[in-house]
């Protein structure tokens, strides 16, 4: 066994990937990069691989391989270049790594995240869409293959930190002993106070201008619509075996309290910190130790006020749709996620108005209800139904 924890960072060129490499670079005595992956930013991938000494990089196709090679600094020994989606899943299961940071955006990250779980790795899960699309399958793989699943989404990481672990928690497929409710906080995004009538003309840049967090564009739009919080409710359901009616969402515009756990005796435990993803990432990399993350102290006196309010489902219809999908079951969750990915992509590329995002999702959920006997017992089943839902959403004439 290596004295280093060897990490594969899947989606290394994204916001979570960059933050992960920043934390790893602070701990050369215990953390080492094994593999990196990217989808379009090959020049950045080459810089990251050269800087971190990665042994392996994974790229999507031959054209990307050539771009990576062209960007590689002359005279330096190059990493092994693996190509394609299967190579991504194989790399997640590779003997060369102990820990996998699953930071690809969207359901595209599911096969690799599942591959890591099936290989019994420490899985740092940022890719919430994997759990939304295949929560049952994923959690079963974690249990059956002895993987160690650590949530990286700041809300779930906060909840994880506030929950009892091991024997004190009870059975893994039941809510932790003594817990009454989970309270997920949400900033409310850039349009928290806007009149919903005024959102018709919203541009991608306005939707991506998050007040507190710096993130990739897809999750930024999801935060604006609050579908992101809906995905997180579904994620919390699977991670913590918690029924929908014991998960509550609270708008907290300052993003200082990252989430809370309410116990049967009335105690409420919360995790607080600056809105910087390096804190949950360092927690996942170091667990059970605490590692320096580069995040500074929280100055509560300077924060002054911490506010909380109940979200308005008229203003944020996507949040209500996610609760509906969770109550309806796994097929509805696949349809919700797939339709959202199609709609957000169309919005970001100027083909769909912002206010049509919930309409596309609603139409896909109605379509899903008309499908009889959908089986989602395997990864192939999930991917096939996900593709059907995407095709439906894409053919609506809206996207
Ligand atoms: N950002 C945050 O603060 C935050 C917080 C909590 C959870 N998350 C979750 O973490 C995940 C990543 O978010 P992010 O903000 O880091 O996203 P991002 O900045 O858009 O980065 C996404 C990464 O995935 C790669 N990628 C995109 N499409 C791919 C595909 N089809 N196949 C393989 N790789 C692909 C991208 O490669 P290229 O860049 O090379 O195209 C990039 O490395 C999401 O699931 C998000 O919900 C993010």
Mutate to test the pocket of ligand 1, among 36, 45, 103, 322 (most ligand atoms within 8 A of CB): 103
Cα(107) to centroid(ligand 1), Å: 11
Which domains, ranges and CATH numbers included, belong to the chain? 5-151 (3.40.50.720), 329-398 (1.10.1740.10)
Query: Looking at the chain, which runs of residues are DSSP E strands?
Result: 5-10, 31-37, 56-59, 80-83, 99-102, 122-125, 148-151, 179-186, 247-251, 257-263, 268-272
pLDDT, mean over the chain: 96
Residue 190 CB burial class (10 angstroms; 0-12, 13-18, ≥19): middle
Cα(1) to centroid(ligand 1), Å: 30
What's the pLDDT score for residue 379?
98
What's the pLDDT score for residue 210?
84
Q: Which residues make beta-bridge pairs with 123?
A: 100, 149
* Gap between the Cα atoms of 372 and 131, Å rounded: 23
Q: Residues annotated in the binding site for NADPH, as ranges?
A: 13-16, 127, 129, 216
Q: Which two tokens stand for residue 323?
A: 């609760």
Q: Report which ligand 1 atom has the smallest distance to the Cα of 214.
A: 3
Question: Pseudo-torsion of CA 347, 348, 351, 352, nearest 10°?
Answer: 10
Q: Which two tokens stand for residue 107?
A: 């359901």
Q: Which two tokens stand for residue 48?
A: 């990251």
The residue-averaged pLDDT of 277-283 equals 98
What's the pLDDT score for residue 1?
53
Report pTM.
0.97
Nearest CA to ligand 1 atom 17: 216
Tens of pLDDT, residue by residue over 282-305, are 999 999 999 999 999 999 999 999
Q: Residues annotated in the binding site for 1-deoxy-D-xylulose 5-phosphate, as ranges?
A: 128, 154-155, 187, 210, 223, 228-229, 232
Of 16, 353, 357, 379, the closest CA to residue 203 belongs to 353
Write down the residue that tokens 């999702």 correspond to.
361
Tens of pLDDT, residue by residue over 67-124, are 999 999 999 999 999 999 999 999 999 999 999 999 999 999 999 999 999 999 999 9
Tens of pLDDT, residue by residue over 362-372, are 999 999 999 98
Q: How far is CA 242 from CA 63, 102, 163, 198, in A?
A: 44, 23, 12, 36
Q: Which two tokens stand for residue 243?
A: 């029924």
Of 62, 77, 111, 71, the closest CA to residue 91 belongs to 111
Buried b vs exposed e over 285-314: b needs ≥16 C-beta within 10 Å? bbbeeebebebeeeeeeeeeeeeeeebeee
């Amino acid at each position: 066994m290596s004295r280093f924890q060897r990490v594969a960072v899947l989606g290394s060129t994204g916001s979570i990937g960059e933050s992960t490499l920043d934390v790893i670079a602070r701990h050369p005595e215990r953390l080492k990069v094994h593999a990196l992956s990217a989808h379009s930013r090959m020049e950045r991938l080459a810089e990251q691989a050269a800087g971190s000494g990665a042994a392996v990089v994974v790229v999507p196709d031959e054209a990307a391989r050539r771009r990576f090679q062209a960007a590689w600094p002359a005279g330096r020994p190059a990493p092994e270049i693996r190509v394609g989606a299967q190579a991504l899943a194989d790399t997640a299961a590779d003997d060369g790594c102990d820990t996998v940071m699953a930071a690809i955006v969207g359901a595209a990250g599911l096969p690799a995240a599942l591959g890591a779980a099936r290989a019994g790795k420490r899985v740092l899960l940022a890719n919430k869409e994997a759990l939304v699309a295949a929560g049952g399958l994923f959690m079963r793989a974690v249990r059956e293959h002895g993987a160690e699943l650590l949530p990286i989404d700041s809300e779930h990481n906060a909840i994880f930190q506030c929950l009892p672990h091991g024997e004190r928690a009870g059975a893994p497929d039941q809510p932790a002993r003594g817990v009454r409710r989970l309270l997920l906080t949400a900033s409310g995004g850039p349009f928290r106070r806007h009149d919903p009538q005024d959102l018709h003309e919203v541009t991608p840049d306005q939707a991506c201008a998050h007040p507190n967090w710096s993130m990739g564009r897809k999750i930024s739009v999801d935060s604006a619509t609050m579908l992101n919080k809906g995905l997180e409710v579904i994620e919390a359901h699977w991670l913590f075996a918690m029924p929908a009616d014991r998960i509550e969402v609270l708008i907290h515009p300052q993003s200082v309290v990252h989430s809370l756990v309410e116990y049967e005796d009335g105690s409420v435990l919360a995790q607080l910190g600056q809105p910087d993803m390096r804190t949950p990432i360092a927690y996942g990399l170091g667990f059970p130790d605490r590692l320096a993350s580069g995040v500074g102290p929280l100055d509560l006196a300077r924060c002054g006020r911490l506010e909380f309010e109940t979200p308005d489902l008229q203003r944020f219809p996507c949040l209500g749709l996610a609760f509906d999908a969770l109550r309806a079951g796994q097929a509805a969750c696949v349809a919700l996620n797939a339709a959202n990915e199609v709609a957000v992509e169309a919005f970001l590329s100027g083909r769909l108005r912002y206010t049509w995002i919930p309409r596309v999702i609603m139409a896909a959920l109605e379509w899903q209800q008309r499908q009889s006997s959908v089986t989602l017992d395997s990864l192939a089943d999930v991917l096939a139904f996900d593709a059907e839902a995407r095709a439906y959403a894409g053919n609506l004439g809206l996207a």
